[in-house]
Amino acid sequence: MSYRLLSLACLAAALALPAEACRPFGSYQFVEDAAGGLWFTEGDNNAVSRLAPDGSVTAHKLPTPNAEPSSLALDRAGKLWFVEMEGGRIGRLERSGRITEFPTTDGHPGTIAVDARGDAWFTQMAGHEASTDPHAGHGSAMVAKVGRIDAAGKMHDYRLAEGWPTSIAFARGDDRAWVSVLVPGERPRGKLLRLDRTGRWTPVAAWDNSCPGNLTLQANGRPAYSDHCRGVVGRVDGRGRLVEQTLPAGTYIQQLAAAPDGSLWFSGDEKGRLGRVDRDGKLSYLERRADDQTMAVLVTRRGEVVFSEFYNYNINRLTRAGDYVEHLVNVDERKDVREVREGEVCYVRFAARIAAKAEMDEKRAAEVRSGRFKPDGQGTEKLVEEKCLACHDARRLLLSRRSDWTPSIVRMHAYRDIRGAGALSPEDTARIVAYFNTHYGLSR
């Protein structure tokens, strides 16, 4: 297979400019519109954006700062619905470019789906995550639920008796939701439920030692899902029956995507590979020249596989011919743009970093190899190692650069609590944020 990264024109422009730092995470999710455009999330750019078939990118900035857009869904009218994880809101982008935000209550939204009528449904955690917006979640009543926004913009809440929803999807033409649920514990329990517009929950299946999620729509119009704890992928067949396939031990699925041929592609492999489960349950991996873990994944109507990576903000595409194409996405503002119309776009300010993303400067590469943070003369690097590595591994933090580290560090409060680690004091938080902004900020 060939691996086409950049055109010569982009490289020539890039070499004349200083290197720019990589964005911390790739997009959380993709969705394809009727014209073949790909919508994706931009965390640090605080935008939902569209990669057009000609390679150009249009970003739509969000009204709420540091909203951390994640899950996306399109309705039949072409309106884009999206989740603002940190903002505690559900957003709707009209075709005109107008954005409307709907505040959620009692926690933080996670994933979103649209039913046959055009209503937007979303999952919501029970308020365990910290927020940078003191008004988001209205103080949080620790309630896990599914929310629905109807055509009039009215919010409806459907609370769960136990656990929290991990994903949501709709079978084609249906307005009853499929919801996967995790009930945490020493041996977690998983459930698959149906939810109608009246708020009635109907059990479909329940499992011990289970953590189901990643509900996604198959080519047959029915959902599929994964369950990492039990090591299976499940499908709803044409008769509405569950059919599960056991995966080899150690298989990890970050995100699941259904292909037109009935296969399921997945991201999350630690070796940077894309995984595929065929209709008979046979698992295979697609090798590629990268060591970055894949994150979001989508299979287009044409059968192309689009995916993002944890440490690289570009959009990657595997064509039907077996070629890899990397679409370049700008770091922050859309400035100094230079486009190449053959399916790729090069943003000059970011191009140098993208062209040499595997060739970091010698000092920084040594940091990543050793897993040691940059000394600041005040011992803050030791505080980082003591207080932050309970949440993320050193490589992830060393490679992840943000324009403002406040949201990431604040989220560590919740993660540390889950892992039973000591809390970050306000002084620790301020010191660590200043350290990362100085030494690992986006402008560095």
Instruction: Answer yes or no: do 370 and 433 share one domain.
Output: yes
Asked if 367 contacts 376 with a C-beta cutoff of 8 angstroms, the reply is no
In the structure encoding, which two tokens stand for residue 91, read together? Answer: 């957003």
Domain holding 74, by residue range, is 3-355
pTM metric for this prediction: 0.73
pLDDT for residue 350: 41
Instruction: Answer yes or no: do 346 and 368 share one domain.
Output: no
DSSP state of 239: T
Instruction: Answer yes or no: do 223 and 167 share one domain.
Output: yes
pLDDT for residue 354: 44
Q: How confident is the model at residue 108 (pLDDT cuts 50, 70, 90)?
A: confident
Instruction: Answer yes or no: do 96 and 147 share one domain.
Output: yes
Residue predicted with more confidence, 218 or 422: 218
CATH number at residue 232: 2.130.10.10
Instruction: Answer yes or no: do 345 and 316 share one domain.
Output: yes
- Which single residue is written with the structure tokens 């957003």? 91
Q: Say whether 318 sits in a helix, a strand or coil.
A: strand
Q: Give the whole-number percent of the chain exceeding pLDDT 70.
A: 77
Q: What is the side-by-side strand order in the sheet with 155-159?
A: 109-114, 120-124, 145-149, 155-159
Cα torsion for 385, 390, 393, 398, to the nearest 10°? Answer: -40
Quickly count: other Cβ atoms within 10 Å of residue 33's Cβ: 14
| pLDDT, tens digit (0-9, with 9 covering 90-100), for 139-184 | 344 579 999 999 999 999 999 999 999 999 999 988 899 999 999 8
Cα torsion for 43, 44, 49, 53, to the nearest 10°? Answer: -100
Instruction: Answer yes or no: do 47 and 191 share one domain.
Output: yes
Cα torsion for 247, 268, 122, 230, to the nearest 10°? Answer: 30
Q: Which of 320, 312, 297 is nearest to 400 (CA)?
A: 312
pLDDT for residue 5: 26
Report which secondary-structure segment, H or E, holds 438: helix 426-440
| pLDDT, tens digit (0-9, with 9 covering 90-100), for 334-392 | 334 444 333 333 333 344 444 444 455 566 667 777 888 989 999 999 999 888 887 77
Contacts of 330 (CB under 8 A, 6+ apart): 45, 57, 59, 337, 347, 349, 350
Last residue of a domain, one of 297, 324, 355: 355
Instruction: Answer yes or no: do 321 and 213 share one domain.
Output: yes
| pLDDT, tens digit (0-9, with 9 covering 90-100), for 199-238 | 999 999 999 999 999 999 999 999 999 999 999 999 999 8
Strands (E), 8-78: 30-32, 38-42, 47-51, 57-61, 69-74
SS3 content of the chain, % helix, strand, coil (to 5): 15, 35, 50
Side-chain half-sphere of 374: how many Cα atoms within 13 Å? 16
Tell me how far apart the alpha carbons of residues 202 and 322 are, in angstroms, rounded to a whole number: 43
In the structure encoding, which two tokens stand for residue 379, read together? Answer: 């011992």
Q: Say whether 245 sits in a helix, a strand or coil.
A: strand
pLDDT for residue 417: 67
Based on the structure, what is the number of domains in the chain? 2
Angle at CA of residue 24, ends 21 and 27, nearest 5°: 120
Tell me how far apart the alpha carbons of residues 331 and 423 are, in angstroms, rounded to a whole number: 32
Last residue of a domain, one of 302, 333, 355: 355
Asked if 437 contacts 444 with a C-beta cutoff of 8 angstroms, the reply is no
Last residue of a domain, one of 313, 336, 355: 355
Instruction: Answer yes or no: do 351 and 389 share one domain.
Output: no
Quickly count: other Cβ atoms within 10 Å of residue 307's Cβ: 26
| pLDDT, tens digit (0-9, with 9 covering 90-100), for 46-68 | 889 998 887 778 889 899 988 88
| pLDDT over 50 (residue 134) | no
Instruction: Answer yes or no: do 308 and 397 share one domain.
Output: no
Instruction: Answer yes or no: do 310 and 370 share one domain.
Output: no
Tell me how far apart the alpha carbons of residues 108 and 87 are, in angstroms, rounded to a whole number: 8
Tell me how far apart the alpha carbons of residues 8 and 237 are, in angstroms, rounded to a whole number: 47
Instruction: Answer yes or no: do 344 and 436 share one domain.
Output: no
Q: How confident is the model at residue 428 (pLDDT cuts 50, 70, 90)?
A: very high
Instruction: Answer yes or no: do 417 and 298 share one domain.
Output: no
Report which secondary-structure segment, H or E, holds 170: strand 164-170
Between the CA of residue 207 and those of 161, 203, 227, 229, what are the distances in Å? 16, 12, 10, 10
| Amino acid (one-letter) located at 175 | D
Tell me how far apart the alpha carbons of residues 147 and 68 are, in angstroms, rounded to a whole number: 19
In the structure encoding, which two tokens stand for residue 10, read together? Answer: 């982009």
